[in-house]
A = this chain, B = another copy of it.
Amino acid sequence: MKSKLLLALVSLTLAGTAAAQVKPEDAIKWRQSGYGFMAWNMTRIKANVEGTYNKEEVVKAANAIQAIANSGMGALYLPGTDKGTGWEKTRVKPEFFTNRDGVNKAALAFIKEANEMAKVAAAGDAAATKEQFGKLSATCKGCHDDFKIKD
Residues of A within 8 A of B (CB): 11, 14, 18, 21-22, 26, 29-30, 32-37, 39-41, 43, 47, 51-52, 57, 60-61, 63-64, 66-68, 70-72, 76, 87-88
Contacts and interface: CB of A to CB of B under 8 A. Distances in A.
The majority secondary structure among interface residues of chain A is helix
Contact of A64 (B57, B67, B88): B67
13 contacts: A11-B52, A18-B47, A33-B35, A33-B39, A36-B37, A37-B68, A40-B76, A60-B71, A60-B72, A64-B68, A67-B68, A68-B68, A87-B87
Contacts of A14: 51-52
What copy number does this chain have within its complex? 2
Nearest to A29: B36
A72 B72 CA distance: 23
B64 A60 contact: no
B57 A61 contact: no
Nearest to A52: B14
Contact of A33 (B37, B57, B71): B37
B51 A61 contact: no
Given A61-B71, A63-B67, A70-B63, A40 B33 contact: yes
A47 B18 CA distance: 8
